[in-house]
Amino acid sequence: MRIEEIKNVCTACGACASVCPQQCITLPMDAEGFYYPRIAHEKCVQCAKCEQVCHCLNEQDIRAEKHSYYGFSKDESVRTASSSGGAFATLAKPILDSGGSVYGAAFDYDELLLRHKSTDQVSLSELQKSKYIESEMGKTIAAVKENLDRGRRVLFCGTPCQAAGVRQALGDGENLLICDFICHGVPSAGIFQDDLRGKLRKNEKLIRLDFRPQEFAWGKDDKQLMLETTSGKKTVPFYLDAYYKGFLTANAILRRSCYACRYRQKHLSDITIADFWGYKAIDPSIDDGKGLSLLVANTEKGRGAVEQMQAFDLHEIDNRYSDYAFAPKDYAAGWKCRERFFAVYRPGKLKKAAKKTYLKRYHIERLKYRIKKLLHRV
């Protein structure tokens, strides 16, 4: 089956595992720390359902005209518990009020991994906020289908490629609302897990993790990795953290498919959300440092859901103000850095490999940060 042979494009949406009638597909983590489908060939009956459902092997087109908006939740607590302006939590509210189910990514503090879960399993607040780690989809698509078959409304939120997998597998039913976000790329879950294990002392347990702590001003200096453990709290700016920097600026530890992402421009979701960096082109005073969301409705269903958002300060804008979010990105240098990085990376030795590849100025940056701290500039 071809799903095992498309490693550079597979996005681990898990549609193949969800439809397999033999239940013979799993998505274990590979040596680089990403999930990929594996078939138990002795059970496979060559039905090819996995190939028929795969969004990588069956490209879809988009139909509707898009509509752009920006805004933020009027509820301060929603806004502070979100990464941008709280669009995701606001979209979730009517689905939950109707007895439906909301899917997103929740961090597992025991296994130190990110997994797609629903509000039937975890609270909405556990799904909120960006976690810059690949999330394990497993058989999420099968679980979403089960809910839809029972007549429940479902909101699914994930990366554009996960959303494409959901769309390809489950179509466009009235009860299914698919939301994705503008995505820089997903970094390795395995590297994050190994690095975190190394940071924790014996008997120390992680209790909170935040890639965008709310005490730092949105868009200015909020890219910080905050780890709260049973021994205390530590916050490190992204440029001093080997994982965060490998993800955000070096592009060295992203999933293979991210380097030629098929969904940067083409979103198969109903709604795409993002940080609204485009506010500067409209009016810089819109930014109050608490977070702004960009929302782009890609379908009429998405447009209806956005325009019905309650307790959200919503403004429709010309599409030219959202164009920046869909601009092509060149990850060629990142790919080369990735090759150099994985040639020297050994599990649990992230900083060592980073210092040999993309973190060469680490000591200078750390010194500059310490001086700034002494001068109370951070």
Residues interacting with ligand FAD, by CB under 6 A? 82-89, 104-105, 114, 127-133, 135, 157-159, 181-184, 186, 273-275, 293
User: Which stretch of DSSP H or E encloses residue 93?
Assistant: helix 87-97
Q: Of the two residues 7 and 115, which places its CB atom closer to ligand FAD in the complex?
A: 115
Smallest gap from residue 5 Cβ to ligand FAD (A): 25
73 dihedral zone (left: phi>0; alpha: psi -120 to 50; beta): beta
At its nearest, how many Å lie between ligand FAD and the CB of residue 71?
Answer: 10
Which two structure tokens, joined as six digits, stand for 135? Answer: 């999330």
Residue in the shown chain whose Cβ atom is closest to ligand FAD = 104
Residue nearer to ligand FAD on the CB measure, 127 or 225: 127
Point out which residues pair with 297 in neighbouring strands. Answer: 67, 271
Q: At its nearest, how many Å lie between ligand FAD and the CB of residue 137? A: 9
Task: Output 220 or 346, the one with its CB closest to ligand FAD.
Answer: 220
Q: Smallest distance, Å, CB 135 to ligand FAD? A: 4
Smallest distance, ligand FAD to C-beta of residue 182, A: 4
Residue among 125 and 231 whose Cβ is closer to ligand FAD: 125
**Which one, 159 or 299, has the nearer CB to ligand FAD?**
159
CA 75, 324, 237 angle in degrees (round to 5)?
65
Indicate the DSSP class of residue 201: P
What is the nearest approach in angstroms of ligand FAD to the Cβ of residue 185? 7
**CA 97 – CA 89 distance, rounded (Å):** 12
Extended strands (E) in the chain: 25-26, 38-39, 67-73, 101-108, 113-118, 135-136, 154-158, 176-181, 206-210, 224-229, 232-237, 271-275, 293-297, 312-317
Closer by beta carbon to ligand FAD, 181 or else 331 = 181
Q: How many CA atoms lie within 13 A of 38 on its CB side?
A: 8
